Amino acid sequence: MNVPVVHANVTIEQTAAKKRPQLMYLSREEIVEVGGSSSTLYVEAITNALSLHAQGKYVQPLKPYLRTQDGNGHIADRIIAMPAHLSGDDAVSGIKWIGSKHDNPVVRGLERASGIIVLNDPESNYPIAVMEAGLISSMRTAAVTVVAARHLAKSGFQFVTCLGCGYIAKAQLYSLLQQFESIEVITLFDVNKEAAVQLASILSKQFNRVDFKVADSAEEAIRSGEVIVTCTVTDTPYIPFEWIPKGAFVSNVSIMDVQKDVFLLADKVVVDDWDQSNREKKIINQLVLEGSFSREGLHAELGEIIIGRKPGRENDDEIIILNPMGMAIEDIACAKRIYMEAELKGLGTRLDLY
């Protein structure tokens, strides 16, 4: 029996359409729509990613920094490429391409950092999604602090201090407040006092159970904190060990705020990844080059604590510092969760590759 040519052509076209590679594009607004502003999604994804990290179930080349200024450029002015692969049931490969200029908010009226995340199918290596990275990056960074606080902060902590009051700080405090009902007081400090006042106003509308205070100095803010989070763009360390209260947990998000003696005198120093932390002449790298700190002096990588290989906080007097450089596996783990939610809800813009 002869099959009509027109039918054969339709079949071929339909088959070709099914095989045509497509990307899902997600804007920040679409990421929010699929639940990407919820701290719980990120906390779950980060916990899983760090657990896989501790088990060696990942591939993560050291991220290169693209700097176009001379040696006198600001430390926050760079573009970073962050590729990674995670194994397991939710295997995924991807890369975050994120740029930063410290003067974007003041000079250009823009957020300091911007970027995209590309996800790749781990079987074919074809790209399957492109999405805005700023929201994911800030929320996954906050989720690292949340996960770390569960293991490294005093149980039932009530007093939080945040230094720097920009976009990253908002995500950090929003996530902490969502995840820890025990928080009663948040003390803010920013060299631009108005930024601290504005952030306090924004957060107080949603979390009216909390007392928000604006400190007149970094020292005043730090001395009042049980959990201390740094969210600045400083390239000059300014926090000495003597300011840090006994029993405090410091999430050193912006990396360059604490002075060298903090790492040498703290009861426990924790990083997300030793190789990522010991580079780019950040404080830990400076100490290693000077011969005063080493891998042996490190208490643990955070994933080791999560899976129980190393202990977290062991008493209420310990001063513990987390130095989270930020890892690509964190970004792609969170982006994969968002991609899956968008697939379920039929959201996002589909783009043909060719």
> Is residue 88 very low, low, confident or very high in pLDDT (cuts 50, 70, 90)?
confident
CATH number, domain of 177, equals 3.40.50.720
As a whole number of angstroms, the distance between CA 57 and CA 39 comes to 24
Do 211 and 233 fall into the same domain? Answer: yes
What's residue 197's pLDDT? 98
Instruction: Kindly report, residue by residue over 16-35, the tens digit of the pLDDT.
Output: 445 688 999 999 999 999 99
Give the catalytic positions in this structure. 96
- d(CA 320, CA 270) in angstroms, rounded, equals 8
> Do both 100 and 120 map to the same domain?
yes
Inter-residue contact 58 to 87 (CB < 8 Å)? yes
The tokens for 103 are: 């003067």
- Examine the domain organization and report whether 211 and 276 are in the same domain: yes
Same domain, 269 and 341: no
What pLDDT, on a 0 to 100 scale, did the predictor assign at position 275?
Answer: 93
> How open is the CA angle 271-254-84, to the nearest 5 degrees?
55
- Length of the chain in residues, anyone? 354
Strand partners, 171: none
The answer to whether residues 318 and 346 belong to one domain is no
The pLDDT value recorded for residue 13 is 43
Task: Kindly tell me if the per-residue pLDDT of 12 is higher than 70.
Answer: no
Residue 16 lies in a domain: no
DSSP 38: -
Quick check: is 158 in a domain?
yes
- Coil, helix or strand at residue 277: helix
Q: Are both 302 and 175 inside the same structural domain?
A: yes
**Are both 295 and 161 inside the same structural domain?**
yes
Domain CATH code at residue 26 = 3.30.1780.10
Q: Which residue has the tokens 């107080």?
A: 204
How far is it, in rounded angstroms, from Cα 237 to Cα 234? 7
Q: Is residue 42 part of a domain?
A: yes
Q: 141 lies in a domain?
A: no
Give the model's pLDDT for residue 280: 81
Residue 7 has pLDDT above 60, yes or no: no
Domain membership of residue 8 (yes or no) is no
Which range is least confidently modeled, 28-37, 67-76, 151-160, 177-186? 67-76
pLDDT, residue 5, reads 42
- Render pLDDT for 252-308 as a digit per residue (tens, 0 to 9): 999 999 999 999 999 999 999 999 999 888 999 999 999 999 999 999 999 999 999
Only one residue has tokens 């989070």, namely: 229
4 located within any domain:
no
Question: In the predicted model, what is the mean pLDDT of residues 218-228?
Answer: 98
Q: What share of the chain is helix, strand, coil (3-state, %, to 5)?
A: 40, 20, 40
What is the reported pLDDT for 296? 95
Q: What does the pLDDT read at residue 281?
A: 86
pLDDT at 3: 44
Tens-digit pLDDT profile for residues 314-323: 999 999 999 9
Packing angle of the helix pair 167-179, 39-54 (nearest 10 deg)? 90
In a domain, 266, yes or no: yes
Are 28 and 132 a contacting pair, CB within 8 Å? yes
Residue 250's φ and ψ, nearest 5 degrees, are -110, 120
| pLDDT reported for residue 72 | 76
Coil vs helix vs strand at 191: coil
263 and 278 belong to one structural domain = yes
What's the whole-number average pLDDT of the chain? 93
pLDDT value at 240 more than 70: yes
Count: domains in the chain: 2
Q: What is the pLDDT of residue 18?
A: 56
pTM: 0.91
pLDDT of 14 reads 45
Q: Which residues, at least 6 apart from 32, have a Cβ–Cβ distance to it below 8 Å?
A: 135
Range of the domain at 212: 151-327
pLDDT at residue 70, rounded to an integer: 76
Q: What is the mean pLDDT of residues 137-156?
A: 97
Burial of 337 (0-12, 13-18, 19+ CB in 10 A): buried
Asked, for residue 285, whether it belongs to a domain, the answer is yes
Phi, psi of 217 (to 5 degrees): -150, 160
3-state secondary structure of 85: strand
**Residue 176 pLDDT level (bands cut at 50, 70, 90):** very high
